Structure 1
Amino acid sequence: MASRLQGSFWAQGSDSEDEEPSEEEESSSEDSDSSSDSEAGARKGASKFLVGSSDSDSSDDKRVVRSAKDRRYDELRSTCDEIRNKLHINDWNSIQTLFDKLNKQLEKTQKVTEAATVPRVYIKLLVELEDSLLKTLGDREAKKKMSPTNAKALNTMRQRLKKHNLGYAEDMDKFRANPESTADESSDSDDSDSDDGSGSDEDVDQGSDADGAFEKIKSKSEKKKDRLLSMDPKDISYEMVSKKLQDIMLARGKKGVDRQEQVEMLTYLTSVAKGPCQRISVMLSMVSAIFDINPSMSTHMPVPLWKRCVSVVLEVLSLLSTHTHIVIDDSFEGSDERTEEPSPEQEAPIPGNLIAVVERLDDELFKSLQMIDPHTHQYMDRLKDEPVFLAMAAQTQDIQANHTDQKTLARLALRRMEHFYHKTADVYEAMRKITMAQQQADAAAEVDKDALKDEDELDAEVVTAVGQATLKVPADFVMEADCEAFMESLSRQIYEHGDERTKARAMLCTIFFKAIREDFYGARDMMLMSHLQDNVQHMDISTQILFNRAMAQLGLCAFRKGLVPDAHSCLSELYTTGRVKELLAQGMSISRYQDKTPEQEKLERRRQMPFHMHINLELLESVHLISAMLLEVPVLAAPDFDPKKRPISKPFRRLMDNYERQTFTGPPENVRDHVMAATRALLKGEWQRAYAYLSDLPSWNLLAEKDKVLHMIQQQLKEEGLRTYLLTYGAFYHSLSHQHLSQTFDLPDKKVHSIISKMMMAEQLAGSWDQPTGTVVMHAAHASRLQAAAGALADKATALVDLNERALSLRTGGVRDMDDDREGGRGGFGEDRGFSRRGGRGGRSGLLPGPGDYGRGLGRGGGRGNRGGLRSGGLGGGMGRFGGGIGFNEGRFPSDRFSRRQQAPTYDHMTSLGRVGNSRRQ
């Protein structure tokens, strides 16, 4: 035991063979012979007292301490040997792991040796790895027998070695030139302070030879690539250009192909092409190569590339207009068989699709306008490129008119129409003037250029013009002075030859175009005759967005015309869900109850409209809320027993309830605050205050005829203020002076007389005219206590049934739409039918006892209690305000004669306009 402790004590002073010294010890050790001998002697002296002890394992073994440098080299050689063993059995999965380990060991070795050179054993292994890899890849049978994991590791090693060996190419070339040399290997194992012998004269000679070989290989590849470029253009034949063009097209889409280099090569081929036919073929291939530079659909093509591509297409169109015998046909496939330029007497078809190229350029222009900041000069400069595109599209349609089917031409006409339909008359005229100014400036520049340059310089410029990003409006392009006639000619062509989607989009563009030019009735009639509001939910999302934009403009146009009910009908469906930005593709609303995947967000961003095509959302909200206010305020002021007192705009009612619940309301700040403050003032009959609130909205500055619209709003406020005043305070008067009402609301006597007479005829106002005195005599009509109690009981019963149905739907899990938006009408005698899924609330406000409204209930089980449905039908609606019994038919038995009197719903013409299906709100 003592001897064991003593042995362990002496062992503390020595290094263990299994332990690896730290880097500090390695760097601080001098590794001299004297120190090694002294340490060995110390260990030998200590072990001398333990001779004969059974606990000593190897007392007579001589322990040798090696330097850190030697250990690192040994580890490197050991790993290289392991990799060679794995190469014999093609275990590339293990080779991949060992290769990572070897690279880490190389870093440690270079840190210890502090040398920039790479050990020869490492270079030798790289060469063996590369040779073995090429051999394995060439053996197809061996590759088939590999496991999927091993095959994957093989491909990974091929890619890694391809990149990794680039940094050691020079050393590998030296080794391949003289693989038998052992100078470096001996220097690697040498323990002296000298270098590893890489600086010998022999190695210098070998390095120079390797450098020369590398330069030869490099120059050979460059000559192979640039052989055609270095030739005299006169020596280049038609077959050489065709063969080079074919080689470039076959290389499209392959990995490792420099696409920019392909474009530059095609640019050169354009200048040396033999004849217009071959020149057009090369230029069409060049357009495809430019498109390949930016293959992603989520990002737009860089603007210089877009301009370069458009300039190439314009040159192609110019050549086609000059050489009419050349035809671009998408179905032709025999251009590779030509060995010479075709003669002008015969038709020369070329494979290609110019219309597809124009559509792709249009998409790239649209995407660039989506992504560029609209508040910068770059956006304005990008908009100036639109006339060039329109000129290109017009020339393409004219040239391809006789060689392309009419359906494709109709699609191109729709592309042109989509650039004009959102432009007002002033914007179109400004764009026309800018285009003419650009053409005049380009013509003047050409004259100056002709005066300053000689013919040789002009020829050189023509050669390099294709490679430049210069973009000019063609001199022969003329924008029509009458935009309406131009739009009509495009739409006529689309209606004759387009498919269903193209026709629908052309119709919506025309409706939008008419709406911004104040032709409301023409736009409304087109919408009604086309029945797009019935079928739009089955169309694609971009068409649904266009439909929503057309409806929004239709509503704005109706409001500017003073047609408040029509404006509200057009805009009500857009504001039902509160997702106006998404419906108009002018932004993305963030909701905490809705999670969108990255793919959905990407698709939604691709559908966004450019900034210059936006409809101002603040103006749209102002028009919607003011229209709802003018319609809702008289309804709010009507007595409770009025059969027509039902909500017209649910979003407005919700805003009104939230506004009334506020404890403190400060000065109005946004559109909603202004409209709610105006509503509260109008309910009191104070139309001046209401007009002051509404006229302060800044959105009116966006209208061209601001004063006319504000005058219309003021007139509407006077009329609705008069109605509201009579409905609210009429019961407190015995008679009202006609003249006093005219002065209070600043209305003509005839207008006041007309409004009051209509209210009397509609039974909204209980009164009569006294012609001699010029007053309105009010007739008191107060409900009795029994009638008031019956009405209160009816309201409570209705609320109780609503709660029971909601609880039942939640308990059973059934999808039963209990939203108030789908309730039917309420009315006595069934004259006010509710065309909804739940039918009408029968007899809720009936003036006399009797059956209530039988409605059109499409819900499950028909109506219950006081709701009449298709199955319960008839007498289930009792509980009128002035009498009637509680509903007794609960829909369990076949209905009576009322269920057989169901009729198809008759929608008002603008109600049908406002139908925006839920399936479109994506």
Structure 2
Amino acid sequence: MSRFFSASYDSDSASSSSEEDLLSSSDEELLSSSVEEEESDDSYFNDSESESDIDSDDSDSKPYGPDWFKKSEFRKGGGNKFLKGANYSDSGESEDEGKKVVKSAKEKLLDDMQTVFSKIDTAEMTQDWITILTEFDNISRLLIRAQQQNYGTPNIYVKTLAQVEDIVGKTSQSDIKNKAVSKAYNTTKQRVKKAAKENEALLTKFREDPEAFDGEATVEIGTSNSDEISQYGKKSINLSSVASGSSEAAFFSALRIVIDSRGKKNVDQAGLVKTVEELLETAKSSYETIMAYLTLIPIRFDVSGSMSYQPIEQWKLCYNDTMKFLTLLEEKVDTYVVSELAQRNEFLEEEPEADENGVKKIVGSVFAFVERLDDEFNKSLLNTDPHSSDYLARLRQEQDIYNLILRTQLYLEATTSEEDQEKVLARPFVKRLDHIYYKSTSLIKIMENNAWKSFVPPNPSKITPFTGEVNDEYAINLVGKLSESLRKNKNGGIRKRAILYHVYFSALNIDFNTAKTMLISSKVQAYINNSDPSLQILFNRVVVQLGLAAFKLCLIEDCHQVLNELLASSHLREILGQQTLQRVTANSTSSSADEREQLCLPYHQHINLDLIDLVFMTCSLLIEVPQMTAFYSGIKVKRIPYSQKSIRRALEHYDKSSFQGPPETLRDFVLHAAKSMQKGDWKKSIDYLSSIPTWSLLPNAENVLTNLGERVQIESLKTFFFIYKRFYSKISVDKFSKLFNLSNEKVIQILESAISEYDINTKLDDSKDFFIVEKGDEITKLEEVALKLNKEVKIAKERSNPSTARR
């Protein structure tokens, strides 16, 4: 019976026959071998006790605890050998049980490379070039991982490279009939050629003595040139030493590793920048310098990619690098050209083939860097307090970015064929208009003069030529030519944006009629609701600027018509893109930062909201006060719709209030001007309007106020006539002339126009001295009050006797 079920177990009976029956022969062998091993080598287990120690400790008492029934070798220290299976060697253990081996990352990587070698060896038998290409790509990626982890160039990679090179050399493309296999063969041939060039020294050494090479240690990165390898981050290394030698392949090998490291986790971007800067210093040719700049500038932007905007110092570094890069391209324009339309070159170290003009085109986008700089500039403005000195200091750098935009445009014009210019130059034109469309011609002249003086252009611009003098005509023509060029673009969004830019500029600097005609003929308003938010915001800004342009010309009715629908919105700040970025972020459901930034504009592009309100309320004052007076005096008037900011609503609220104080706010001043107009006191009305300081925001404020005063006189005359005509049978023209400081001819003209418009039963006598008022359907003030009272009485009766009302 097992001792586990024994009621009374004596430790002295451990060697009894009943216990021996429980032990199998294999267990006994394991036990004996274990004991012998422990006795022969006590140092193998740290602080472990031998079986004799365990027995001696319990010689006079029974075993206790949860493992008292276990065999002695399973107790206490004896279990250690089973926990250390990977490091424990037992000669008595069968090979079938196996041992779990923990491999390092380097060993796993080498095993993966060995697997690739075996697969390529198998694919060689069937000429499976698709598999060969796939596996060669795999081992190339494994090499990059090895170099990033500072494992060097493993010998198995060199062996595989030589293997594939031999396979390619033994195969002729004419023997391959399948199109897909032929394509895989050609691609493999190109990539092997590139890899062999990069590892030429190692490949030569391998072919001299493959067996000896295979037995050597792995070649470490940079050991052939420099022993200094400084690590930064978790998975990045300083590769500048690779390029310090004379080998061109070494430079591009290091550059390739940097490019492949971009965007990966745990890579120190600042360290990558430092590495490429050192590579830039070691560049020995213009091509190497160009490739280094094409790598360096994007990585600089990556450093601040997680921030709300790029720090100013980082921005300046990117700006300086872009300027140096552009200067290099301008100097080498006859040899190298960086273009988005160039064919992509899979091998960095191989320069593109020269065209018929001897120019080598490198794929890349210079303007993409400029565009990103401009975006970061706008982000910094959106994240800076607009009322601080920091905002003004940052805004001064707008001239720098505008100079760079113009310079890039000239470079692209000089290096792009005429048939491709429409596509390539669209973005520079849009960015250039971004910076000038909302400015007056005087500010544009300053920017253009500074831009053209900042550098000597290698090639003049054919689209926006510079004659050496910048005046108002130049500024107007500049915006017109840029917009006209963009209207030919196939992109509908760019076409709409160009039209709206031109309309805004025309409304601000030229006149209302030109801008209005341009907008109506473009029919942009018919499709604007389906456009992206930034275009809708731009359209709303155009509408507001049209209204202000009409007001400057004292076209009161046109201004009121343009602004009435827009001012009906209670979210004027939002629809004009003038809310803060923090507020947009808090209220927007969009998760994209770029989409949120499209919903707001930098502060210096804002249209003053107080000026918009003042202009609209003044227009409402001049239109609605005479109409209200005519309506309440019994004249049939076609009532026009009014918005929340209409003066009519303000007057109704003012008449109901129990206390009216002196004017304090902008709205109060306009309201008091309206009350004075109702009384016929035009002088006081003009005084109230003129005392509002917001008028100073208009460029021609004095001229506007003069025209506004004349219009107030006219509308005050109409209002006075509508109020008092029912109390007179004759009205003297001369009296009106003196009362409103207008000539007799002007008074006659105004009153005849009002009589005709409202169909009033009044006519001018033959002497043209009096207006004869014929009594018609007009009611007196007392009759008007009586009618209102009678209506209220009827309503009260119906409410008190609802049953009678139903009958």
TM-score, normalisation: structure 1: 0.56
Distance 1:386 1:223, change over 3 A: closer
The reply on whether 1:512 has 2:504 as its aligned counterpart is yes
Asked if 2 retains the 8 angstrom alpha-carbon contact of 1:735 and 1:777, the reply is yes
- Which residue in 2 is equivalent to 1:619? 611
- Which residue in 1 is equivalent to 2:664? 669
Distance 1:244 1:417, change over 3 A: same
- Gaps of at least 5 residues in structure 2 are 1-60, 62-75, 87-100, 110-226, 457-465, 797-807
Cα distance in 1 for residues equivalent to 2:537 and 2:435: 16
Give 3-state SS (helix, strand or coil) of 1:419's partner. helix
Cα distance in 2 for residues equivalent to 1:665 and 1:600: 49
Asked if 2 retains the 8 angstrom alpha-carbon contact of 1:239 and 1:339, the reply is no
Distance 1:483 1:89, change over 3 A: farther
Cα distance in 1 for residues equivalent to 2:494 and 2:580: 27
1:308 to 300, 311, 317: 317
Structure 1 window deviating more from structure 2 (750-759 vs 760-769): it is 760-769
The reply on whether 1:397 has 2:409 as its aligned counterpart is yes
- Which residue in 2 is equivalent to 1:360? 372
Asked if 1 retains the 8 angstrom alpha-carbon contact of 2:578 and 2:600, the reply is yes
- 1:605 offset after TM fit, Å? 5.3
- 1:227 offset after TM fit, Å? 7.0
- 1:398 offset after TM fit, Å? 2.6
Q: Deviations over 1:742-771 (max 9, x none)?
A: 111111222111111112222443211123
Asked if 1 retains the 8 angstrom alpha-carbon contact of 2:337 and 2:361, the reply is yes
1:487 to 468, 472, 479: 479
Distance 1:396 1:236, change over 3 A: same
- Which residue in 2 is equivalent to 1:120? none
Give 3-state SS (helix, strand or coil) of 2:435's partner. coil
Q: Which of 1 and 2 has higher RCO (CA within 8 Å, sep 6+)?
A: 1
The reply on whether 1:555 has 2:547 as its aligned counterpart is yes
Cα distance in 2 for residues equivalent to 1:502 and 1:372: 29
1:522 to 514, 520, 537: 514
Asked if 2 retains the 8 angstrom alpha-carbon contact of 1:727 and 1:765, the reply is no
Cα distance in 1 for residues equivalent to 2:722 and 2:514: 37
- Which residue in 1 is equivalent to 2:558? 566
Asked if 2 retains the 8 angstrom alpha-carbon contact of 1:636 and 1:645, the reply is no
1:752 to 747, 751, 772: 747
Cα distance in 2 for residues equivalent to 1:539 and 1:790: 55
AA of the residue aligned to 2:743: P
What is the correspondence of 1:37-186 to structure 2 with a 5 Å cutoff? Answer: none
The reply on whether 1:237 has 2:247 as its aligned counterpart is yes
What is the correspondence of 1:314-713 to structure 2 with a 5 Å cutoff? Answer: 314-323=323-332, 324-330=334-340, 332-334=343-345, 336=347, 338-339=349-350, 346-401=358-413, 402=416, 404=420, 406-432=422-448, 480-481=470-471, 482-587=474-579, 596=587, 599=590, 603-604=595-596, 606-640=598-632, 641-651=634-644, 652=646, 653-713=648-708
Asked if 1 retains the 8 angstrom alpha-carbon contact of 2:440 and 2:508, the reply is yes
Distance 1:412 1:752, change over 3 A: same
Cα distance in 2 for residues equivalent to 1:267 and 1:590: 36
Cα distance in 2 for residues equivalent to 1:263 and 1:599: 32
Q: How many residues align?
A: 565
Asked if 2 retains the 8 angstrom alpha-carbon contact of 1:585 and 1:607, the reply is yes
Distance 1:425 1:135, change over 3 A: closer
Asked if 2 retains the 8 angstrom alpha-carbon contact of 1:266 and 1:282, the reply is yes
Q: Deviations over 1:535-592 (max 9, x none)?
A: 211111101111111111111110010100111111112210221111111126999x
Q: Deviations over 1:183-204 (max 9, x none)?
A: xxxxxxxxxxxxxxxxxxxxxx
- Which residue in 2 is equivalent to 1:735? 730
- Which residue in 2 is equivalent to 1:292? 302
- 1:660 offset after TM fit, Å? 2.2
AA of the residue aligned to 1:303: I
Asked if 1 retains the 8 angstrom alpha-carbon contact of 2:242 and 2:250, the reply is no
Cα distance in 1 for residues equivalent to 2:444 and 2:395: 13
Give 3-state SS (helix, strand or coil) of 1:516's partner. helix
AA of the residue aligned to 2:410: D
Distance 1:374 1:513, change over 3 A: same
Cα distance in 2 for residues equivalent to 1:589 and 1:397: 30
- Which residue in 1 is equivalent to 2:463? none
Cα distance in 2 for residues equivalent to 1:643 and 1:238: 91
AA of the residue aligned to 1:379: Y
Asked if 2 retains the 8 angstrom alpha-carbon contact of 1:410 and 1:498, the reply is no
- 1:483 offset after TM fit, Å? 1.0
- Which residue in 2 is equivalent to 1:222? 230
Q: Deviations over 1:208-235 (max 9, x none)?
A: xxxxxxxxxxx975289887646895x3
Distance 1:707 1:257, change over 3 A: same
Cα distance in 2 for residues equivalent to 1:532 and 1:339: 49
Asked if 2 retains the 8 angstrom alpha-carbon contact of 1:565 and 1:627, the reply is yes
Cα distance in 1 for residues equivalent to 2:752 and 2:743: 14
Asked if 2 retains the 8 angstrom alpha-carbon contact of 1:726 and 1:765, the reply is no
TM-score, normalisation: structure 2: 0.63
- Which residue in 2 is equivalent to 1:851? none
Distance 1:133 1:788, change over 3 A: farther
Q: Deviations over 1:673-705 (max 9, x none)?
A: 111111111111111111111111111111222
Cα distance in 1 for residues equivalent to 2:237 and 2:104: 28
Distance 1:604 1:669, change over 3 A: farther
Cα distance in 2 for residues equivalent to 1:85 and 1:495: 82
Give 3-state SS (helix, strand or coil) of 1:639's partner. helix
Asked if 1 retains the 8 angstrom alpha-carbon contact of 2:487 and 2:495, the reply is yes
RMSD of aligned residue pairs (Cα, Å): 4.2
Distance 1:769 1:325, change over 3 A: same
AA of the residue aligned to 1:647: I
2:282 to 272, 276, 287: 272
Cα distance in 1 for residues equivalent to 2:747 and 2:739: 11
Distance 1:644 1:595, change over 3 A: farther
2:769 to 774, 778, 781: 774
Distance 1:735 1:248, change over 3 A: same
Q: Deviations over 1:482-530 (max 9, x none)?
A: 2111112211211223521111111111111111114111101001101
Cα distance in 2 for residues equivalent to 1:422 and 1:782: 54
AA of the residue aligned to 2:344: E
Identical-residue share of aligned pairs (%): 27
- Gaps of at least 5 residues in structure 1 are 1-60, 62-79, 91-130, 140-218, 441-475, 801-922
AA of the residue aligned to 2:274: E
Asked if 2 retains the 8 angstrom alpha-carbon contact of 1:283 and 1:316, the reply is yes
The reply on whether 1:718 has 2:713 as its aligned counterpart is yes
